[in-house]
């Protein structure tokens, strides 16, 4: 026995309103009809969706899982109706986006007022996290990730293709005689992002491939902005995605060094990922356009104008 989308929509109404009676009023039908639909749906799915008594309704754990899928189905149906009807209304609805903390602070936050002004009907919720999130389990619509995509079931959209660069202060470079052509970087590194502390990092020195070890005797932190601040206070040399250094390099507060030691890593690559669907919600498409419009290469946060 297969379940129907119409039955799923009735279940969503019960979950949203908190009861069979209120759902029946919303749907313009009888309580007995709603109850029959719920029984039929549970039978088709083979799980208990709701726990009911004479006074209230409570969604089971299985019901919560099905509810989130049913809500997505409703969104897809609404999007399809809007597309086929030629409706050009502004994107709307709740959108949850997970972003790395540094990326959100440096580039997204300054541009958010423009996004809200353009899409006032999108209820945007930002989740800041420096770890990989589970889009389905945590109900995330879109996430920005650092590095290469490993989950083949997700769709990836490139946002920025950069590189890791070595940086220090002019005073430190002068004190230790470090220049762009220097190659002995490791003794000067006191801090680095945690993502590099647990593995060998592939680099190329001239035409020679080698590895660097940042596991021992270093401070490890999961925020590139902390690394940047540490270096700015005279804390030696470190390496960062170039987008977090542009403005300080332009102002002369930081200088590039060890340019002959090139990273063979994808850590400066930013991508937006989202669950694969045949029809992307307009609110998701709007947010992806917003992300792609951010100017990360010129060192000035905000969208390209």
User: What is the predicted pLDDT for the residue at 151?
Assistant: 58
Q: What percentage of the chain carries pLDDT values higher than 70? A: 88
What pTM does this model have?
0.67
Task: Between 213 and 54, name the one with better pLDDT.
Answer: 213
The per-residue pLDDT for 278 is 53
pLDDT the model gives residue 68? 82
Query: Between these two residues, 55 and 155, which has the higher pLDDT value?
Result: 155
What's the mean per-residue pLDDT of the chain? 84
Question: Average pLDDT in the 270-279 region?
Answer: 76
State the pLDDT at residue 302: 41
pLDDT computed for residue 281 by the predictor? 80
Length of the chain counted residue by residue: 305
Stretch 185-202: mean pLDDT, rounded?
Answer: 87
Cα angle 36, 42, 45; round to 5: 140
pLDDT at 150: 62
Is the pLDDT higher at 153 or at 188? 188
Average pLDDT over residues 177-195: 91
pLDDT band at 17 (very low <50, low <70, confident <90, very high): confident
pLDDT per position as a tens digit, 199-233: 788 888 888 888 888 888 899 999 999 999 999 99
> Per residue in 147-185, pLDDT tens?
766 656 678 888 888 889 999 999 999 999 998 888 899
Mean pLDDT over 39-57 rounds to: 82
Q: Which domains does the chain have, with CATH numbers?
A: 5-84 (1.10.10.10), 93-161+268-293 (3.40.190.10), 164-263 (3.40.190.290)
Which pLDDT band, with edges at 50, 70 and 90, does 84 fall under? Answer: low
pLDDT at 85: 52
Mention every residue, 6+ apart, whose C-beta is less than 8 A from residue 127: 96, 97, 98, 99, 133, 138, 140
What lies within 8 Å, CB to CB, of 124 at 6+ separation is 95, 97, 112, 115, 116, 287
pLDDT-based confidence at residue 32 (cuts at 50, 70, 90): confident
């Amino acid at each position: 026995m297969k379940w129907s989308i119409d039955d799923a929509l009735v279940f969503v109404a019960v979950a949203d309103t908190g009861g069979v009676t209120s759902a029946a009023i919303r749907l313009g039908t009888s309580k007995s009809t709603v109850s029959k639909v719920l029984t039929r749906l549970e039978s088709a799915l083979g799980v208990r969706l709701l726990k009911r008594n004479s006074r209230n309704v409570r969604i089971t754990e299985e019901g919560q899982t099905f509810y989130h899928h049913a809500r997505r189905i409703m969104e897809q149906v609404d999007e399809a109706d809007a597309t086929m009807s030629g409706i050009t209304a502004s994107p709307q609805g709740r959108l949850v986006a997970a972003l790395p903390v540094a990326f959100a602070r440096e580039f997204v936050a300054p541009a958010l007022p423009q996004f809200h002004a353009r899409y006032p009907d999108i209820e945007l919720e930002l989740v800041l996290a420096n770890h990989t999130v589970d889009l389905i389990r945590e109900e995330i619509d879109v996430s920005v990730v650092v590095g290469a995509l490993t989950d083949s079931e997700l769709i990836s959209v490139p946002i920025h293709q950069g590189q890791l660069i070595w940086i220090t202060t002019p005073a430190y470079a002068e004190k230790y005689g470090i220049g762009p052509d220097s190659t002995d970087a490791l003794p000067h590194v006191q801090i680095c992002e945690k993502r590099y502390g647990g593995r060998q990092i592939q680099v190329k020195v001239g035409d020679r491939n080698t590895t660097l070890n940042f596991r021992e005797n270093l401070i490890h932190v999961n925020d590139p902005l902390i690394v940047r601040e540490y270096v700015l206070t005279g804390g030696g040399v470190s390496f960062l995605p170039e987008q977090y250094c542009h403005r300080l390099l332009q102002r002369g507060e930081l200088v590039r060094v060890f340019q002959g030691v090139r990273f063979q890593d994808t850590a400066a690559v930013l991508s937006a990922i989202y669950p694969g669907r045949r029809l992307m919600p307009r609110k998701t498409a709007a947010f992806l356009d917003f992300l792609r419009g951010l100017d990360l290469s010129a060192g000035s946060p905000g969208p390209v104008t």
